[in-house]
A and B are shown apart, each in its own frame.
Chain A
Amino acid sequence: MITSIFYKEWIKTRRILLLSLVVFAALITYIFINVEQMFRINGATQVWTETILKDISVLTRIQWLPLILSVLFGVSQFVPEMSNKRLKLTLHLPMPENKIMFSMLAFGLSGLLILYAITYMAILGGLNIYYPPEIVWSMVEASLPWFLAGLAGYLFVAWICIEPVWRHRVFNTLIAAYALTFFMISAKSGAYMPFIPYLLAIIIVAHFFSFYSMYRFKDGSQ
């Protein structure tokens, strides 16, 4: 049954997943063209000096991308469920409703994690050619909250979409929007590290929010 649910989710989201992959690939390619140009024109000494002294990261262009794509991904997965109340049919599948919801979210989170893992591998592989590990790691540290924002954003979208009452959808959106600002505070590279466990805690807690919306949907809240 879980395989069938995964297949159903794949059908809904495959286009947006492919689009995400293409957009990430295009942006990473652009970043490396840019890095190559910087090293060619300014020289390695100048680039490294500016990176160390001014805390310049080549990954800043990627900042909003994980969040935007995960929101699109969440919308593509959960809006079809809510149109004509198709979620009712999904929840009537011969499986406990909690397990159904868990499978749907697990599919989404796995998809995003695979996408992020591919992106990080490409970034790490490329940056290691140009920069020493300390600089690469500081860039990764700076970008980590943006990718976590992607996971949180996806879970918030699921919570908002499944909520049956429009008024509460608006409140949920405001709450989610403010919570997402925690992931986007402008800070020096590495400054976010003490906050990462708290961001992970937010993601774990947010994972349960959709279940609440699902209970309300099942209870027939209007």
Chain B
Amino acid sequence: MKSKKIIYIQILLFVTFIGMCAIPSLCKKITYSPDDYPFVYYSSILKELCYIDFHDKETPMRDGAGNLYTTAQYDSLMPLFNFRQLMVDGRLPDSIDGHEITPPILMSKSIIYRYSPAKFKTPDVGLYMMYESMPKRVGLELPDDVFRMKDKIEFIDNASNTINTQKSQTFQQALDKAGYSFPTQWVSGNMNPHKRYDEGYFCLDDSRQLFHVKMVNGRPFVRNTHIGDSITIEGFTVYEAADKRFYGFLFDKMGSAYIIESDEGKYKALKLDIPPINLENDEMMIMGNLLYWTVSVTSKKGKDIYALKSGTLECLQKIAIERTPGKWDNVSAWLFPAYLTFEHNNSDFIYPRLTVTGYKAFAVNLALALLFSLVISNPGKKRLFNFLFVLLTGITGLIALLILPDFSTKKIKSK
């Protein structure tokens, strides 16, 4: 009989556990709507961050003072964002603040980059493709091999599924010569064959130095960027910008963002003049043009928008929009003291995460526990157990108790 009770408790806890996932997930489906923030972009004419409402066809733009602007005015006041429309209308200015404006220049300076924590929290197969960075023909060709570089670099021939010893040795020697120490911490590169050009890979070695590795004319190109001398590197995303101004976006351990620029054959980290972001939870969006970058950082508290000067990346203006709690926030705070999720916005990995909503739900739990103990007649000890269990677990525990066969009911003969 004792083992029966133990297994009953096991099943009860198991059902409560899956209920902590199933019931909140159902409630979330009914009540959740994503946070709604206005689109904000820096106007190169007004020299301030402006709000754009794409649903408003008459006056889509509003400045910081609350002045509304018509669609035609919006196009003219944001020429670097609406240059295609201005070009069609024949209204594209020749220059802004002394900078020449032509569509090819604007396109080459256009940057869109999105950081989400899942970028770094994602499974990695451990195989990469090394493109020829100076191809003889237009466009990149798929290489005939892939490489791994965890403990050493090895190229594997696709057709034979065997290691290309000669190429592997050539690259290994180049890495050794450059002072690369294995095992590799991570490898960052853009393997998309449709990109404009190839800048190869940026790899963090065992001594936390960032190395630039690529193939030029069939030969290895390996350079220590020495960025690791001054910055504790956390992550890097290769971004092959159209104007080849920089190699990508780097984040340090504290969450500060940088770009790595090429400086006469050397590598220079230029910090974005924004406060460090929380790499675990925050999302960042960069929309850059010839003159200004608009950087949005979305956190649990709200959205901060920064306007940066594109050359120096110094901050010109900052606005903050607070997050308004949605229906789901209120419902979850009152109904569930804690709930379980397995899929997460900030990670591609599947794992259980317990979200504790706070103490409010215990008020509802107490009411449920009292009601349950009064309505359902149980012997004394059982009643106390049920009361405490519902008080702690709330609706999920209550449902588990109700749907499971009760071992102490009188119908069952005890042995």
Contact = CB atoms under 8 A, between A and B. Distances in A.
> Is B a genuine binding partner of A?
yes
A130 B350 contact: no
A206 B18 CA distance: 13
A98 B1 CA distance: 12
A185 B351 CA distance: 11
A150 B161 CA distance: 32
B156 A52 contact: no
Given A44-B158, A98-B3, A185-B343, A168 B405 contact: yes
A8 to B, nearest CB: 24
A220 B411 CA distance: 9
Given A46-B142, A182-B342, A219-B413, A191 B7 contact: no
B156 A193 contact: no
Nearest to A165: B405
B349 A194 contact: yes
Nearest to A163: B405
A49 B141 CA distance: 12
B230 interface: no
A212 interface: yes
A190 B7 contact: no
B134 interface: no
Contacts of A179: 14, 18
Nearest to B402: A171
B161 to A, nearest CB: 6
Interface stretch (B33-41, B99-107, B119-127, B364-372): B119-127
A212 B11 contact: yes
Nearest to B154: A132
A125 to B, nearest CB: 14
Interface in A91-117: 98
Given A46-B142, A53-B191, A138 B125 contact: yes
Interface of B is mostly: loop
B359 to A, nearest CB: 27
A195 B342 CA distance: 9
Interface string A31-51: 000000000000111101100
Given A211-B7, A212-B4, A132 B161 contact: yes
A222 B409 CA distance: 12
Interface string A178-201: 110010010111111111001000
A118 interface: no
B350 A195 contact: yes
B30 interface: no
B127 A135 contact: yes
A12 interface: no
A205 B348 contact: no
Given A98-B3, A193-B349, A212-B7, A188 B123 contact: yes
Contacts of A135: 125, 127
A216 to B, nearest CB: 6
Interface string B335-354: 00000001100001111100
A141 B124 CA distance: 12
B111 interface: no
Given A49-B142, A52-B146, A168-B405, A192 B350 contact: yes
B15 interface: yes
Contacts of B65: none
Given A175-B18, A195-B350, A198-B352, A189 B123 contact: yes
Contacts of B158: 43-45, 48
A52 B125 contact: yes
A209 interface: yes
B148 interface: yes
B403 interface: yes
Interface in B64-105: none
Contacts of A171: 403-404
Contact of B350 (A185, A206, A215): A185
Contacts of B18: 175, 178-179, 182
Given A134-B126, A194-B349, A221-B405, A215 B4 contact: yes
Given A175-B18, A212-B11, A132 B146 contact: yes
A208 interface: yes
A187 B161 contact: no
Nearest to A195: B350
B22 A178 contact: yes
Interface string B17-28: 010001000000
A221 B349 CA distance: 43
B415 A219 contact: yes
A52 B143 CA distance: 13
Nearest to B8: A212
Contacts of A55: 125
Contacts of B22: 178
Nearest to B150: A134
A193 B342 contact: no
B206 to A, nearest CB: 20
B159 interface: yes
Nearest to B415: A219
Across chains A and B, which 3 residue pairs bring their CB atoms closest together, nearest first?
A190-B123, A44-B158, A194-B351
24 contacts: A44-B161, A45-B159, A48-B146, A49-B142, A132-B146, A135-B125, A168-B404, A178-B18, A179-B14, A187-B348, A188-B122, A191-B348, A192-B350, A193-B349, A194-B349, A205-B10, A208-B10, A209-B7, A211-B3, A211-B4, A211-B7, A215-B3, A215-B7, A221-B412
Interface of B: 3-4, 7-8, 10-11, 14-15, 18, 22, 122-129, 142-144, 146, 148, 156, 158-159, 161, 191-193, 342-343, 348-352, 403-405, 411-415
Given A134-B125, A182-B18, 12 more contacts: A52-B129, A134-B127, A171-B404, A175-B18, A185-B350, A192-B350, A194-B351, A195-B342, A195-B351, A205-B14, A209-B14, A221-B411
